[in-house]
Structure 1
């Protein structure tokens, strides 16, 4: 299963949280010329996500073609050693492809692939492969966890990243931004700019390492759009906000999400130029297929909850765990798309049923009614949402399973905090290159289809045990003639080992999750 001379290179961008809802109007206005050109030159359409819409789980499904019950990734506190199956880079590296990964979730600790690995969001350590790339991770982790560090230390580490590939213009921009935001007390003003300069630095290092290692499968995943959409949606759509927004704040922050998309478009155009990737016009040219996907789309929090803006709430999962006397170390919890999910770490069916029963037993005192709608998905996740029939929460009292009566505000906040954007199930798929049909409108595609399609583009076989399909409709007929789709039973091996990750989120990771509304 070695790489054939017929196979083109693959350049993959993971645009976490991107939505056509913003892309299409911006393209129509001419504000995203590079993304527009990719759409015109190739195939594009909606990429359907999977539930629960937890980014590490979805990105692992994207990279494996398998559902979470097979790959074992459910939430944010997870390591690469706990993934229960091979991912596309394992398959490619095993087949002789040189692989480069930057920013991909659940790649820490980094696997020793034939190429380089710079782990992505929610990693718990700075390690990279090779270790010589570690400075970029150290700078990122220091920036997020220690706001009191000296400016000199930050600049010193930034200079180390310059040696890894950060362009002089990016270095100067970062230095100026650090100086300007040093004394900035406006969290929202600082948040976007710090995320943007990190995104630019990672992109620069990614390009330099692709050039250095001459990788054939090169993947860069970034969260700039996702994190910006979580925090600034209410300024873009103040009429859909769950809380009043000051006109002065709207004026200051309304364009932040659009700026994030424009920054991504510039980065993609710059990367294509620096890697000398040419897109087909009327004739075939170049040897690189470009793939862009998002794990989910975006919407306002009231839309996600299906409640009017003035009735939007925020469930407090950590308070529920404490009040229900659950063992905190045994329970994973996260907020996604207007609901809260609980998962028992050991997947103990008895404990899962007890947790479901406890949550179902929480009732409004007067008039008596269930406080939560509680359901169990096929994977053992307990999902709760506020009973849709309930109105005003102020003054409402609820009874816990053991009879204790508390104010509803102890477990459900009557506001959504700083987060105003949430996940939507319709993501983005764009593909262009010598093997991709021009101007094709893709339909009925899923995040599970990405790895089978990547394997086909690399002329590698697709595992019969994968849950996705090859998007053959986007391929040119001559590509399918020269590289017929092949299958094998599985890419897995009997001796493939994984370790259950029983670690808990540290305070730095918890703060990162809170900043995105997941806790």
Structure 2
């Protein structure tokens, strides 16, 4: 077998259920509930009425890379090591390596593989972060981000021939498509994934089947500006054509849910789960410049003679970003050598203006809703000046306290929802990879790169027009099945809780190394069973395996198209 037979563990005595998981990437109750009330999502409404539902807390940051790997492993990012699509590098002042996180970083630790160790059959279609495809006791079709190509990226490889021509329609993550074409191709991939799933379910009664549709994530990123008249970059003309396109994607997804439910071979013995990895909302319209604030606090030094103003080269990069259409900008950047891309990123972030030899802490760009602050630590960065130990701890505590009280000088409203030292949010062997301080911003704010000047400035309308929605920390989940409470609303669930809950539903012992817990509040009292645990023996992950240059270029293009690589 593909797995280590010595790792087999006894199945628990919990009554087993088959499980169907439907992932709606980025879906939020804020959109789904009004549509359900209006009768536009009848299948989801029926599942909610017949089962237990609630909000699902995502990871920090609430980005698909970290969230989906946490969903697959039941672990916090400090334990599985995936925080972003690109890998962090705190030794480098730019903050990132030119290397992408992939399934190679966690393979052997997913609950899909654990279920296979018990002989349970698994089908998986389109889960993000599953490229390259890895062995399961069944089949796996890789999800976003993945390279384009004429054949599907699948396990087992011979299944690709059965799926036929793969990229006959260009992937909807292609930023160069027109608005109408983006919607068309997004619809195509939702229906394509459903077709693959229905065909597979017709051939075999899988114990665990999962499918994820990305349309509820990628369409809002690009089309929110057409749907919300209060949004600063609202496009009234475009709204005539695209004003209902986000609702349409939810409706399409609901229709596909209905098709999958009708295709279940054993519906009475199948627990149905609908979930999302995070929520979605309008892109923040204000940017807070933490480097400028750190300079005011005397913790960041600007190079002599620059007065904090961008260099000529930096201003040229900024002008190019604003004047070149997105597709041309991304194409140009993708053709540059890695070193030149890194230099452009540094200039865009104004890192070339910082005197590192006199800087104690600096801003680390993570995600629109989450900023990082990194201590310039002796022995870690090349020009680190803060001593490890007591000096480091004192500076971190000082920063957390000051950031938590940060307010907008114009409105007086709090800028920061929560400031935390990394060890209060994460634990595990990869803790040292993440910035020292995590700054979760309130919804109106995102990070800015200025090293001098006002603390808060408006986000340029050109930026808001390009990417008009961003992730929110709360996703959604629904569970319907035998023994599950009907019409119950569940509070406090996290995405890392789903793998142990799903294993428990399947009558399997939960991996003792998972951080998540079984969501026992979804069950009727009569259906509660003791949760059993097992120490699954897993092979070490070879994190040194890299994608080819061609694969990385293809993935970089997809991520840039959704605004994940705004350099």
TM-score by length of structure 2 reads 0.66
1:300 alignment partner in structure 2: 282
Compared with structure 1, are the counterparts of its residues 215 and 303 closer, same or farther at alpha carbon in structure 2 (3 Å cutoff)?
A: farther
Q: Which residue of 2 aligns with 1:418?
A: 466
Corresponding residue for residue 80 of structure 1: 103
* Deviation at residue 348 of structure 1 after TM alignment: 11
Match of 1:42 among 51, 70, 84: 51
Supply the distance in 2 between the matched residues of 1:211 and 1:31 (Cα, whole angstroms).
Answer: 28
Pick from 367, 381, 389 the counterpart of residue 351 of structure 1: 381
- Please list the CA deviations of residues 86-142 of structure 1 after superposition, one character each: whole Å capped at 9, or x if unmatched: 111111000110000110122222222211110100124743112233265962497
Write out aligned runs for 1:426-445 (5 A): 426-445=474-493
Q: Name the counterpart of 2:196.
A: 205
C-alpha deviations, 1:6-37, integer Å up to 9, x for none? 31100001111000001111111111000000
Distance 2:103 2:206 in 1: 21
Unaligned 5+ runs, structure 1? 148-184, 279-285, 308-313, 327-332, 361-371, 400-404
1:251 aligns with 2:248: no
> What secondary structure, in the 3-state scheme, does the structure 1 residue paired with 2:158 have?
helix
For residues 114 and 454 of structure 1, the distance between their equivalents in structure 2, rounded to whole angstroms, comes to 17
Q: Which residue of structure 2 lines up, in the alignment, with residue 154 of structure 1?
A: none
The alignment partner of 2:381 has SS state of helix
User: Alignment partner of 1:91: what SS?
Assistant: helix
> Which residue number in structure 2 is paired with residue 509 of structure 1?
555
Q: How far apart, in 2, do the equivalents of 1:321 and 1:355 lie?
A: 21
State whether structure 2 residue 124 is matched by structure 1 residue 115. Answer: no
Q: 1:71 and 2:116 equivalent?
A: no
Kindly indicate whether the alpha-carbon contact (under 8 Å) linking 1:304 and 1:337 is maintained by their aligned counterparts in 2: no
Identify the residue that residue 166 of structure 2 maps to in structure 1: 139
Alignment of structure 1 residues 216-365 onto 2, 5 Å: 216-239=207-230, 241-245=231-235, 247-276=236-265, 278=267, 286-302=268-284, 319-322=344-347, 324=351, 336-339=367-370, 350-351=380-381
Say whether the 8 Å CA contact 2:133–2:142 is kept in structure 1.
yes
Which one is further off, 440-449 or 72-81?
72-81
Question: Which residue does 1:17 correspond to in 2?
Answer: 26
Could you tell me how far 1:462 is from its partner in structure 2? 1.7
Moved more, 504-513 or 462-471: 504-513
Whether the aligned pair in 2 keeps the contact of 1:18 and 1:296 (CA below 8 Å) is yes
In structure 2, the CA distance between the partners of 1:223 and 1:95, relative to structure 1 (3 Å rule), is: same
Q: Write the distance in 2 (CA, Å) between the matches of 1:39 and 1:96.
A: 31
**Contact 1:242–1:302 under 8 Å retained in 2:** no
After the TM superposition, which residues 429-468 of structure 1 pair with which residues of structure 2 at under 5 Å, given as runs?
429-468=477-516
Deviations along 1:197-247, one digit per CA (max 9) or x if unpaired, are 1111111112212332431100111211000111111211131x23252x2
* Structural RMSD (CA): 4.2
Q: Is the 8 A contact 1:97 1:114 kept in 2?
A: yes
Whether 1:91 and 2:114 are equivalent positions in the alignment is: yes
State how far apart, in whole Å, the 2-side matches of 1:264 and 1:231 are: 18
Deviation track 1:313-350 (CA, whole Å, cap 9, x = no partner) reads x9989634356479xxxxxx97633456699xxx9971
Alpha-carbon offset, residue 354 of structure 1: 5.3
- For the 8 Å contact 2:277–2:495, the answer to whether it is kept is yes
CA distances 1:367-420 after superposition (whole Å, capped 9, x unpaired)? xxxxx99997444434899999xx9x99x9857xxxxx9xx99x9996334110
- Aligned 8 A contact 2:503 2:509 in 1: yes
Q: Deviations over 1:159-217 (max 9, x none)?
A: xxxxxxxxxxxxxxxxxxxxxxxxxx971111111111111111111221233243110
Stretches of structure 2 lacking an aligned partner (at least 5 in a row): 1-9, 86-99, 290-316, 322-340, 354-363, 387-391, 393-398, 400-414, 424-430
Partner SS for 2:271:
strand
What is the rounded CA distance, in whole Å, between the counterparts of 2:222 and 2:385 in structure 1? 31
Distance in 2, matches of 1:472 and 1:460, equals 15
1:69, 1:417 → 2: CA distance? Answer: 34
* Matched residue, 2:327: none
Distance, in Å, in 2 between the alignment partners of 1:233 and 1:397 is 27
1:238 aligned counterpart, secondary structure: coil
Q: 1:491 aligns with which of 536, 539, 559?
A: 536
Q: How many residues align?
A: 430
**C-alpha distance in 1 between matches for 2:188 and 2:57:** 30
2:27–2:216 Cα contact (<8 Å) kept? yes
Distance in 1 (CA, whole Å) between partners of 2:147 and 2:240 is: 37
Q: State the partner residue of 2:153.
A: 127
Separation of aligned partners in 2, 1:351 and 1:492: 36
C-alpha spacing 1:348/1:200, structure 2 compared with 1 (3 Å): farther
Structure 1 CA distance for aligned equivalents of residues 17 and 440 of structure 2? 50
Q: Does the CA-based 8 Å contact 1:12-1:290 persist in structure 2? A: yes
